[in-house]
Structure 1
Amino acid sequence: MKRNSTEFGILPAFHGDCLLIKTFDSNNEEFIILIDGGTAQTFKYSLKAELKDINHINLLILTHIDSDHIAGLISLFKSSLIDNIIVNEIWMNHPEIVEINSDELISTRQGDTLKDLILLKKPDVKLLEISTKDESILRQGVELVILSPTPQIKDELYRQWKLSNFPKTDNDNVKISSQKEEYSTSLVDLSKISFSPDKSINSDIFNSSSIAFILKCLDISILLLADARPEVITESLRLNCFSETKPLEVDYVKISHHGSLNNTSQELLGLIKCNNFIISTNGGTADHKFPSRETIARIIFNSQRNDEDLNIYFNYKIEELKERIGDFIYDMDFNEGNWNAINRNWF
């Protein structure tokens, strides 16, 4: 199929991530990239429908092994739908990916592995582990500049995985902006609070091991951050010669970890020039609510802002997010910063 423009969808993935990118290669042949599968419900309610007319995925990426990214892919590979889809290449980092019975749990004791399912259904697929050691990967004119994880973080993931069984808990246990006083603080004031994550990289190894990259299509560019840590991305951008005076310029940024407080720093945003930011979340779970009001403040009042409109896109309606997490943004917030909050799934 011929194509001459890129479109991509941030599918309604509940509290997870699922991205479907339809771009084109140097011969104007369609090039399909699927990034994560969201929750099991994501496959049932949205991904399945999006894939029913697709018979070829050029690149499938599992960014990391958290349940809100892997469960939908397990559902896909357990379905008959995958039998009718050619998959050329799969990226994923793990010594063993395990079956999960719900969208909240990960345990090394459970079930069949995703790798086993892949090898069963797609025995000839090209399976790759990815780290910043790979630097830039080119596929038929489509370039992916790898920013995370480092080889050291990937090795630490494997070490922790092999030494212990991870607990059956949600691995998104991060500090969020849920206190009333933080919700009532102005965005300008919140943007000035120094970034101070409550976990180290090694104690947040699932998110730290996320595969994050700059996607350079022939017509647009997207910074896709999965659930990556800002410290890792910042270091990688600087190693790629980006700085506050020479920032990375992209058309879109998919913000890390559903807009979590711990995954977007002022320093990182100071290395990026972009007017379109995307947050994938339905508001999170009962215990872990996203996005953080502080993250929104940092995006709006970051040092690379100019006078142009800034758009923050959500893949669920703003009203639905507020029903789950409260008034994380107010009408008065739009009086400063020249920005918009927009519900949109396809770009």
Structure 2
Amino acid sequence: MKNNIFSITISVFPALNGDSLLISYGTNEKKHLLIDCGYVITYNTYIKKELIEIADNGECLEKLIITHIDSDHIWGAMPFLKDNQEKFIEIKEVWHNTFRHLLNDTEKEENSSNKEEKIIKNILNRGYFNNELKNGENQISAEQGTTLGALILKGDYRWNSDFNQKAVCIENKQTVNVDLESQIILLSPDKEKLDNLKTLWESELTKYDLKYSKEEEKLYDDAFQMLLTWIKESPVKGSQPISSNKIQMEELLSLAPVEDKTPTNGSSIAFILKIKEKKLLFLADSHPGLILKSLLEYQPEDVINFLSCLFI
């Protein structure tokens, strides 16, 4: 029975220290956006059932948005895309920035040396950082081709096609229409944030006696993702853990804000999802300075009222 009532639902999946959100909206035939997938256990226990139900209703994912390369955001996406090799659910578009999206056209034309290929393969052989949860579940194996980029390519998905296969960043496109009633307004990252991630990649490669590779091969996508899991990002200088038993709200308000400057978090895809007249804000782990700048450009005057504001 059709009720013809328009609704917006946000499902927040249990993801331990990670994040995963499903936004569903519409009347009878709903639109769905999946933002990040948490860990493997998040997908296996929660997300998969929801996706099967969506597919059984004859619906699909309009967007699968992987905000940035962090294990607690991407690892659940890998078993999902492995399961979806038989296409149990249609994914119209994947948004995800990886190594190939950090290069300009000139860099893509240059070839790598045999030495570079060997070093990249050494990184692949080392695989992922052994980031096991307390329950002992080993999240992702180190076998080649288990990266998110490799699975997107294997599944032949439309990958960043809203941005002409280039990086998801505000210089390439700021507004993407999902349908006549909804649109995504991109707030982060910008080119500078992605360049910082590229610099981080370069600096890590120097530890392998490799200055930089300018080759857009699948191996480099894999190595890029695996290498970033080994990078130990130090806590933001001046930050300290918060305990409700030891610090009061007044004390928190008196502390000078210290902005996160880590390149991986800065590369986060953050956006406003506008559905009819409602606005939802999804910030991922993006840097506040860029978000403030983008919001002021979006609406320089008056207060922006959000139906929901989610740091994921």
Normalized against structure 1, the TM-score is what? 0.62
Gaps of 5+ in 1: 257-347
Structure 2: distance between partners of 1:31 and 1:20: 10
Structure 1: distance between partners of 2:139 and 2:267: 15
Within the candidate set 86, 93, 103, 2:90 is matched to 86
Structure 1: distance between partners of 2:253 and 2:279: 26
Q: CA deviation at 1:102?
A: 5.4
User: 1:176-199 deviations in whole A, cap 9, x for unaligned?
Assistant: 54366x7423212321322123x5
Task: Tell me the equivalent position of 2:49.
Answer: 49
Percent of matched pairs sharing the same residue: 27
Residue 251 and residue 80 in structure 1: after superposition, are their counterparts in 2 closer, same or farther (change >3 A)?
closer
Asked whether the equivalents of residues 9 and 25 of structure 2 are also in contact (C-alpha less than 8 Å), the reply is: yes
Task: Tell me the equivalent position of 2:283.
Answer: 225
Within the candidate set 143, 146, 171, 2:183 is matched to 143
Within the candidate set 242, 248, 251, 2:304 is matched to 248
Structure 1: distance between partners of 2:131 and 2:46: 16
AA aligned opposite 1:193: L
Partner of 2:87, secondary structure, is helix
Task: Tell me the equivalent position of 2:255.
Answer: 193
Q: CA deviation at 1:85?
A: 0.7
Asked whether the equivalents of residues 52 and 88 of structure 2 are also in contact (C-alpha less than 8 Å), the reply is: no
Q: Considering only CA atoms, is the larger Rg found in Structure 1 or Structure 2?
A: 2
Partner of 1:238, secondary structure, is helix
Asked whether the equivalents of residues 148 and 228 of structure 1 are also in contact (C-alpha less than 8 Å), the reply is: yes
Residue 115 in structure 1 maps to residue 178 in structure 2: no
Partner of 1:34, secondary structure, is strand
Residue 14 in structure 1 maps to residue 54 in structure 2: no
Gaps of 5+ in 2: 102-123, 133-137, 162-166, 205-226
AA aligned opposite 2:263: I
Structure 2: distance between partners of 1:233 and 1:83: 35
Partner of 1:75, secondary structure, is helix
Q: CA deviation at 1:115?
A: 1.7
Structure 2: distance between partners of 1:65 and 1:172: 16
Give the structure with the higher percent strand: 1
Q: How many residues get paired?
A: 245
Asked whether the equivalents of residues 68 and 267 of structure 2 are also in contact (C-alpha less than 8 Å), the reply is: yes
User: 1:28-83 deviations in whole A, cap 9, x for unaligned?
Assistant: 74211000000111112211222121221111100000000000001211225862
Structure 1: distance between partners of 2:32 and 2:83: 19
Residue 18 and residue 81 in structure 1: after superposition, are their counterparts in 2 closer, same or farther (change >3 A)?
farther
Structure 2: distance between partners of 1:8 and 1:91: 19
User: 1:195-243 deviations in whole A, cap 9, x for unaligned?
Assistant: 123x5x3xx0110000000111126321000111111111111222335
